[in-house]
Amino acid sequence: MGAGVLTAASPPFPRRGGVLHCGAHSLERLAIQYQTPLYVYNGDRILERKRTLEEAFAGLETDGPGTALTPDPTTSRAGPGHRPSNRASARQGAPSPLLVAYSVKANPNLAVLELLARDGAGADIVSGGELYRALRAGIPAERIVFAGVGKSADELRQGIEAGIMSFHVESAQELDALGALAAEMGAVAPVAVRVNPDVQSFTHEFTSTGHAAAKFGVSPGEAHGMYRCAAAHPALRAVGVDVHIGSQIRDPAPFLRALDVVVEVAERARRELGIELGYVDLGGGFGISDGEAGALDVHTLGREVADRLRGRGLDLILEPGRFLVGDAGVLITCVLYVKQSGKKTFVVTDAGMTELIRPSHYGGVHSVSPVRENGRARVERVDVVGPVCEQGDFLARDRPLPLPRPGALLSVHQAGAYGFTMASNYNSRPRPAEVLVHGEHVTLARRRERYDDLIRGETDD
Ligand code: LLP
């Protein structure tokens, strides 16, 4: 595994009087009020993580040629004919060389998006549905970038109509389709080519996207050809270059190798094609601690990236998902039964793979702890399993845990990213509620599903 740092910063869900809290609110009280399984998000923590990232990249040059391309607020959200700027300004009227474009897929709840929108975040989206959510939450179109290998014609059209900042194009055919569509609509589509830098990122194979055998992006050579096409196309405008190498990466080295590759793509486009790209998008994937392994040192990464970009006139976009919301969320679940089978002890909970699929799908590790401490309980190695009829339905395996009693509440940590958003109705289980705590306020960000939600669209009513 890559280098990781375990930090001693204040926990997002501290224990007070033996009970886990989110801000001023006890998780026990929230579980009683909203029932379990329940997702709880700490909004203050999300904003704190965004600031941490911004501080880590504060060394970026603010007056390079890239930052000279100030966005024109009068053209924002313009329809066909709109020619967006290629600047990555984080806040309107306050030119910045950094745009934090939150990766909506990590946690697309509107309340989370609205919180980030108010704090000046942009969005990294991969579907028309995510575009809809991002706009709905008030994220300005000119701060939205659209990635994905399979954007449909409808989705491309929606992006053009909204006047998004840029399409992160992943194939020559997609570039052709986008150019033809933009021309038909009388618009100019802003594009950045997503480059596959062929770097190994040493994460789970399903979340490693920057190696040559992955479906994402195109080779640096092919990217150059695509910039040549874009430059010659009246309905396309090359505004940046993009890379995203994977998720939950703890070592800065692969990010820097990928950055070197895309910076060279941008330099070559300038040298040979006379194209001045406005930004580099380094993607997301910044690893967080799961209680066992450490986190990516974003301060080291930020310094190194700033050094490499100095004097190049390129702004920077980052697309963090998990880094912003991962440890800002917990899944609270209630113990139904404790059973012994052979030499194993199973703690059966009311949440399982339907609520949090990461343990069974990626072998994802999430720390599990009792919501209320019980000093008298003896610690045993247990499997925490859900009620779903699959042997692969577990939240934790062979984990030391103070043996809980039925009715006790457990908190599954680092569940704010890729938790609810990957939840399913398998076994006809209604999906859980989501609650956002921000300052004093508790918002029911999504109500628990009911049985009639399960059959919506299957009946006439
Ligand atoms: N940008 C792009 C183009 C992406 O595809 C992703 C995530 C991100 C940014 C954000 O990555 P993050 O900062 O959250 O690591 N379901 C998996 C993770 C899949 C990530 C997919 N792409 C998991 O639960 O580990």
Between the CA of 220 and the centroid of ligand 1 the distance, in Å, is 22
Residue 248 CB–ligand 1 contact under 6 Å? yes
Residue 283 CB–ligand 1 contact under 6 Å? yes
Per-residue pLDDT tens digits for 156-201: 999 999 999 999 999 999 999 999 999 999 999 999 999 999 998 7
Residue 13 CB–ligand 1 contact under 6 Å? no
Is residue 30 predicted with pLDDT exceeding 60?
yes
Task: Specify the DSSP class assigned to residue 432.
Answer: P
Q: Helices 298-309 & 252-273, crossing angle to 10 degrees?
A: 20
Is residue 4 predicted with pLDDT exceeding 60?
no
Residue 321 CB–ligand 1 contact under 6 Å? yes
Query: Distance between CA 216 and CA 204 in Å, rounded?
Result: 16
Q: Which numbered atom of ligand 1 lies nearest the CA of 147?
A: 3
What is the average pLDDT across 233-247?
97
CA dihedral 100, 44, 118, 109 (to 10 degrees): 80
Query: Distance between CA 344 and CA 232 in Å, rounded?
Result: 66
**Which residue among 103, 170, 296, 323 is best mutated to probe the pocket of ligand 1, counting the most ligand atoms within 8 A of its Cβ?**
103
* CA-wise closest residue to 276 among 218, 316, 237, 310: 237
Please answer whether residues 75 and 83 qualify as being in contact, where contact means their C-beta atoms are separated by less than 8 angstroms: yes
51: Cβ contacts below 8 Å, ≥ 6 apart? none
Question: 73-87, 201-215, 337-351 — which is least confidently predicted?
Answer: 73-87
Peptide bond into 220 cis (omega under 30): no
DSSP 250-275: --HHHHHHHHHHHHHHHHHHHHHH--
pLDDT at position 63, please?
Answer: 61
**Which residue among 319, 355, 356 is best mutated to probe the pocket of ligand 1, counting the most ligand atoms within 8 A of its Cβ?**
319
Closest C-alpha residue for ligand 1 atom 7: 247
Is residue 389 flagged as an active site residue? yes
Q: pLDDT confidence of 264, banded at 50, 70, 90?
A: very high
Pairing of β 166-169 and β 189-194: parallel
Residue 148 CB–ligand 1 contact under 6 Å? no
- More confident call, 201 vs 309: 309
Residue 323 CB–ligand 1 contact under 6 Å? yes
Between the CA of 283 and the centroid of ligand 1 the distance, in Å, is 9
Q: Which numbered atom of ligand 1 lies nearest the CA of 148?
A: 3
**Which residue among 105, 167, 202, 422 is best mutated to probe the pocket of ligand 1, counting the most ligand atoms within 8 A of its Cβ?**
105
Query: Distance between CA 308 and CA 263 in Å, rounded?
Result: 9
Closest C-alpha residue for ligand 1 atom 14: 321
Q: Which numbered atom of ligand 1 lies nearest the CA of 324?
A: 13
- Kindly state the percentage of the chain with pLDDT values over 90: 85
Is residue 248 predicted with pLDDT exceeding 70?
yes
Q: pLDDT confidence of 84, banded at 50, 70, 90?
A: very low
Q: Is the dihedral of CA 413, 418, 424, 426 positive or negative?
A: negative
Between the CA of 105 and the centroid of ligand 1 the distance, in Å, is 7
Going from the C-alpha of 13 to that of each of 10, 19, 25, 44, the distances in angstroms are 9, 10, 10, 11
Per-residue pLDDT tens digits for 416-443: 999 999 999 999 999 999 999 999 999 9
Neighbour count for residue 339 (Cβ, 10 Å): 11
3-class DSSP assignment, residue 131 = helix
Between the CA of 445 and the centroid of ligand 1 the distance, in Å, is 22
